[in-house]
A and B are shown apart, each in its own frame.
Chain A
Amino acid sequence: MMEDTGPVVAFWILAAITVGSALMVVAVRNLVHAVVYLILSFVGIGGLYITLSADFVAVTQILIYAGAISVLLLFAIVLTPRGSRDNAESFLRLPAVLVALLVGITLGYVALDTDWSIAGRGGFEETASEIGELLLDKYVLPFEIASVLLLVAMMGAIVIVRPEGTMEPVDPSTRLRTGFAQDGEAEA
């Protein structure tokens, strides 16, 4: 196992950053600040991946979660300017606390109580090339399905957010009211 104190110190600092900023996402009142704390939490999880010697996953985590998905979240906030900006709870607050405590305690108890078959083999040397081989050999079918899924999700997102006026011509009487008058809508 890990004898030197470096990884231990790194784990505790990163775990404190991750859990602390996840709790700040709950506590902070401004929605944009909540997204910023979420990014900090994602970065902390990326650091935890490094302490687990998962280099490729760590880089992917920083690129996709801390980079792309958090920018998507910020875009969603920016694109809904008259929505509420506070990070308030709905009427489900008390049941949510109960469910979260129940799930957390159950998962923690299972994690501590189970006798995991620990392999004392130490960390991985490097993972990227072997992950690439696995993706194109053992997991080639899920890999292809994932590419189709990404394509479908991209097309779906574009079709959903496209303003109604730029769609294929439809019967104007069946058109949903969107609250946004498109250019040329009056003539149509």
Chain B
Amino acid sequence: MSVDLEHYLIVGAILFATGIYLALAKRNFVGVLMGIELMFNAVNLTFVSFSRFVESSSPLDGHVFVIFVITVAAAEAATALALAVLLYRVRETIDVDRIDLLKW
């Protein structure tokens, strides 16, 4: 028995589903952000496993994509956490279901 592409893709699918659940259902802003980071990681894992297993003329392109995704994820995390701190300063909470000024 060997480890094939499908094994990695299934792990990526489980991680992505977990990330979506976290991003949609968690009440705390940091929990939502953890879900988004988990989704980034699932996609990166899929990129790297395709790069390893699938026929391609330049197989390392997937690794370069992962580097770019990590860069954008770092920028996103920094800005989102700055927003969380600002939100806390103004509203004294970072529960996303209490940030409802624009609702109706």
Contact of B74 with A150 in the complex, beta carbons under 8 Å: yes
Among B37, B78, B93, the residue within 8 A (CB) of A83 is B93
Query: In chain A, residues 106-143, which have Cβ atoms closer than 8 Å to a Cβ of chain B?
Result: 107-108, 111-112, 116-119, 121, 123-124, 127, 130-131, 134-135, 138-139, 142
Query: Could you show 28 A-B contacts with beta carbons less than 8 Å apart?
Result: A8-B2, A34-B34, A38-B34, A52-B48, A57-B44, A65-B73, A68-B74, A76-B81, A76-B84, A87-B28, A89-B25, A89-B27, A90-B27, A96-B24, A97-B25, A99-B21, A103-B17, A104-B16, A107-B9, A118-B4, A119-B54, A127-B60, A131-B64, A135-B64, A138-B64, A150-B71, A161-B82, A178-B89
Contact of A83 with B27 in the complex, beta carbons under 8 Å: no
Residues from chain A with Cβ under 8 Å of B33 in the complex = 73, 76
A residues contacting B by CB (< 8 A) are 1-3, 7-8, 11, 15, 18-19, 22-23, 25-26, 31, 34-35, 38, 41-42, 45, 48-49, 51-54, 56-57, 60-61, 64-65, 68-69, 72-73, 75-77, 79-80, 82-84, 86-93, 95-97, 99-101, 103-104, 107-108, 111-112, 116-119, 121, 123-124, 127, 130-131, 134-135, 138-139, 142, 146, 149-150, 152-154, 156-158, 160-161, 176-180
Among A65, A86, A89, A138, the residue within 8 A (CB) of B37 is A65
Closest to A22 in B: B18
Contact of B78 with A124 in the complex, beta carbons under 8 Å: no
Contact of A100 with B21 in the complex, beta carbons under 8 Å: yes
CA distance A54 to B29 in the complex (A): 32
Chain A, interface SS category: helix
Determine how close the nearest CB of chain B comes to the CB of A180; give it in whole angstroms: 6
Residues from chain B with Cβ under 8 Å of A104 in the complex = 13-14, 16-17
The interface on chain B, measured as residues whose beta carbon lies within 8 A of the other chain's beta carbons, has a size of 79
CA distance A42 to B39 in the complex (A): 11
Determine how close the nearest CB of chain B comes to the CB of A93; give it in whole angstroms: 5
Q: Known: A2-B2, A60-B67. Contact between A111 and B81, CB under 8 A?
A: no
Contact of B11 with A48 in the complex, beta carbons under 8 Å: yes
Closest to B21 in A: A100
Of the candidates B21, B58, B76, the one having the most CB atoms from chain A within 10 angstroms of its own CB is: B21
